[in-house]
Structure 1
């Protein structure tokens, strides 16, 4: 399936030029790698930019990428794999976890949700290969923070993904994310108890949940939205579907190679 390339990322200070968007994407990846260095893990030389690969195929990437140990460590520390997590799609034991850091006022986050995520669901989640875990990472102020709390509140009633998809169905900014507008979106999304939704959205638990996601992203050095970890591999921006497919294939191959190695060592 062919797909038109998407812009690389939505930085805090967006620039219309492609060069600016690419620089922001590369900066986000670099920040993630710097954060990995801070963990004390051994890291090989970085390519720096998105869409560059050290090898000609997923299996080779899994075998020769000197950063694989770091990716594994990052996957273990960021993937929650909690059964029944309302902000997750896919099996908790799926071999590959994609963690997304996103803001509801981010146009490129919406593009990923509308164009790429449905393809990933059909191709990988339905097959049990992939799990997607969403992290609220509001970077555009109070309206983004309110929308993030609202999505969490919808999740309390089992409607996170319905609300998430409705919020990203089109670009909404400012007053379009006012409390009453968010309640209207919750109604459209099928949230059954709107009074509870409003109370949860404004409660301390929602604030703490969003802050937990934010803090995780800041510790990693996330600077722009959307930012992803695919099996621990950083991927910045609303990349074309092929970039996600490649990252998933490499992460899956690495997981299989690791399992095979463990089996041999256990004999």
Structure 2
């Protein structure tokens, strides 16, 4: 599997703790059915890195703290105080992201979000170029009118990414998603707030070592790739049990 690395001009240098450095290596190594641009190779994923000696508990604590748990988060679904938080780093042009969105995520929502166990927080993490970034900003813009989840579903529907994400297509997806004010949607999509929100998500992902999509954090535990439903249900059950312990 190839991987993606930000250019020096696109991501500011960020200080990371030893614990998060462990997480970066973990996310770089534990990849299964994840996708990344073929023309970019990351050189810092060696298991022999000195950061691998840092305490694993520090890494889990640092990653768990990334859950924003903001009640008004437009790119989140589920209770802010849910015992389990799944953070998803994804790209709308990623085939495995689409597979997860169609086959697995709806089951997680039905089984765990609706009963208050799980909260899903999406992070836009475009790694496949200009159209990926445009789709990410469009998803954010749809969220400003409380239609992020519907836009997410429309953009990841079967065959959607093959049609591309040029602006007319994004407006059409917003219409399908039921965004009420398309003029506002278009303005929001091109605005500074959308760009800032996207940059925040990207910098967070790169800081902890996300190199491919989809990648996940489940209560601080890295999960890479569109793994089967059983892998997520097992991990959610374990995280819920751990959260219940004093």
TM-score where L is the length of structure 2: 0.80
Equivalent position of 2:131 in the other structure: 143
Equivalent position of 1:115 in the other structure: 103
Unmatched segments (≥5 aa) in structure 2: 1-31
1:168 aligns with 2:160: no
Compute the displacement of 1:180 (Å).
Answer: 0.7
Paired residues of 2:87 and 2:121 also in contact (CA < 8 A): yes
User: How many pairs are equivalent?
Assistant: 211
**SS of the counterpart of 1:97?**
strand
218, 225, 235: which one pairs with 2:223?
235
Cα distance in 2, alignment partners of residues 8 and 167 from structure 1: 20
Compute the displacement of 1:8 (Å).
Answer: 1.6
Paired residues of 1:103 and 1:138 also in contact (CA < 8 A): yes
Paired residues of 1:143 and 1:174 also in contact (CA < 8 A): no
**SS of the counterpart of 2:171?**
helix
Compute the displacement of 1:176 (Å).
Answer: 2.0
Cα distance in 2, alignment partners of residues 34 and 238 from structure 1: 27
Superposed structure 1 runs of 4+ greater than 3 Å apart: 171-175
**SS of the counterpart of 1:11?**
coil
59, 73, 91: which one pairs with 1:70?
59
- Report which of the two has the higher share of helix: 1
Q: 1:2-41 to 2 correspondence within 5 Å?
A: 8-13=33-38, 37=51
Equivalent position of 2:241 in the other structure: 253
Unmatched segments (≥5 aa) in structure 1: 1-6, 15-23, 44-66, 261-267
1:74–1:34 distance in 2 versus 1, CA, 3 Å: farther
Compute the displacement of 1:172 (Å).
Answer: 3.7
When Rg is computed on C-alpha atoms for both structures, the one with the higher figure is: 1
Cα distance in 2, alignment partners of residues 183 and 234 from structure 1: 34
Paired residues of 1:72 and 1:232 also in contact (CA < 8 A): yes
**SS of the counterpart of 1:144?**
helix
77, 82, 97: which one pairs with 2:85?
97
Alpha-carbon deviations, 1:191-246, whole Å to 9, x = none?
Answer: 11111100110111101100100000000110000000011100000000011111
TM-score where L is the length of structure 1: 0.74
Paired residues of 2:154 and 2:160 also in contact (CA < 8 A): no
Q: 1:182-261 to 2 correspondence within 5 Å?
A: 182-257=170-245, 260=246
Cα distance in 1, alignment partners of residues 159 and 117 from structure 2: 30
Cα distance in 2, alignment partners of residues 254 and 41 from structure 1: 22
Paired residues of 1:107 and 1:171 also in contact (CA < 8 A): no
